[in-house]
Amino acid sequence: MGLPNYASKGERIAYAGYLVFCGLVLFFLIAPILTIIPLSFNATPYFTFTEGMLNLDPEAYSVRWYQEMFTNEQWLLALKNSTFIALMATLIATALGTLAALGLASSNLPFRNAIMALLISPMIVPVIISAAAMYFFYTRLGLSQTYIGIILAHAALGTPFVVITVTATLSGFDHSLVKAAASLGANPVYTFRHVTFPLIRPGMISGGLFAFGTSFDEVVVALFLTGAEQKTVPRQMWSGIREQISPTILAVATLLIFMSVCLLVTLEILRRRNVRIRGIQE
């Protein structure tokens, strides 16, 4: 939003300074991303811009590191594991988060604020603390270095996102619709499928996307709970940086950036769709 026409000279100078500051912050956040993407096409096995790249020489650019990513068995296993674990964790987190949000929406629920704080605590507690606690707990249960263990751990980290998004969707939900459906003879399952679910679906999808991105990008818990067979993409990147520095890591990072952009675009589309459904004019 710009300044009104009657703004004073001082206000215009302050506003210009504000825009410059915001631009610098945005550049500080985006500059590393803008650096990683071209470096992932480097024809040489270095993490620096070569003279040929700076001169835009076509021979200085190559997709060899992307080929390496999709032909190397370790990277393929990591991509497969991350996708599988993220999908399973997202399904569990979406189901649990939606049920929790529906319960929190009940008007006669005692200790609602305390329960809400407990449900979103995985977002607040430092991940290293959660990872250490999960490691000792899952080791006693025999779930350490298993797919079930890492899936449950990532589901616990993703559930708060679903709870928040579905709760936000339910904040404008008209509960009289449920009562009207019940008065017409609809059972709870039918009412949920045809009344509640269509209205909270955008929140469920948004929360699920956040949960998927959190699981796919998570590294701390993966370092504690995964073994060689459950190695994920972030853990493989961590190992690659420590053991063998290769521009393949930059290619994988570029892939993750592209995935993040797709998630953000999808979330924005869902937000606008939800606005249209609610009839809110922005």
Let me know if residue 270 belongs to a domain: no
Same domain? 29 vs 159:
no
Higher pLDDT, 208 or 60: 208
pLDDT value at position 159?
93
Same domain? 35 vs 98:
no
Average pLDDT over residues 191-216: 87
Same domain? 237 vs 127:
yes
Let me know if residue 194 belongs to a domain: yes
Same domain? 106 vs 154:
yes
Let me know if residue 31 belongs to a domain: yes
- The distance of Cα 12 from the centroid of its chain, to the nearest Å, equals 38
d(CA 49, CA 54): 7
Q: How confident is the model at residue 278 (pLDDT cuts 50, 70, 90)?
A: low
Task: Identify the three-state secondary structure at position 61.
Answer: strand
pLDDT value at position 282?
43
Let me know if residue 121 belongs to a domain: yes
Same domain? 34 vs 96:
no
Same domain? 32 vs 113:
no
Q: Name the β-bridge partners of 61.
A: 42
Let me know if residue 251 belongs to a domain: no
Let me know if residue 268 belongs to a domain: no
d(CA 177, CA 191): 9
pLDDT at 59 exceeding the cut of 60: yes
Same domain? 16 vs 93:
no
Average pLDDT over residues 63-77: 88
Report the number of distinct structural domains present in the chain. Answer: 2
Higher pLDDT, 4 or 114: 114
Same domain? 19 vs 54:
yes
Average pLDDT over residues 177-181: 79
13-34 tens-digit pLDDT: 888 888 899 999 999 988 888 8
Q: What is the residue range of 201's domain?
A: 72-245
Average pLDDT over residues 172-199: 79
- Quote helix, strand, coil % in the chain, to nearest 5: 75, 0, 25
Let me know if residue 196 belongs to a domain: yes
Same domain? 166 vs 228:
yes
Give the CATH number for residue 146: 1.10.3720.10
**Which 8-state DSSP code applies to residue 143?**
-
Q: How confident is the model at residue 153 (pLDDT cuts 50, 70, 90)?
A: very high
Average pLDDT over residues 205-222: 90
pLDDT at 2 exceeding the cut of 90: no
229-269 tens-digit pLDDT: 888 999 988 887 777 777 888 888 888 888 888 888 888 88
Average pLDDT over residues 181-203: 82
Let me know if residue 136 belongs to a domain: yes
pLDDT value at position 155?
94
d(CA 265, CA 71): 29
pLDDT value at position 161?
93
Same domain? 42 vs 86:
no
pLDDT at 281 exceeding the cut of 50: no
Percent of the chain with pLDDT over 70: 95
pLDDT at 110 exceeding the cut of 70: yes
Same domain? 123 vs 27:
no
Same domain? 223 vs 92:
yes
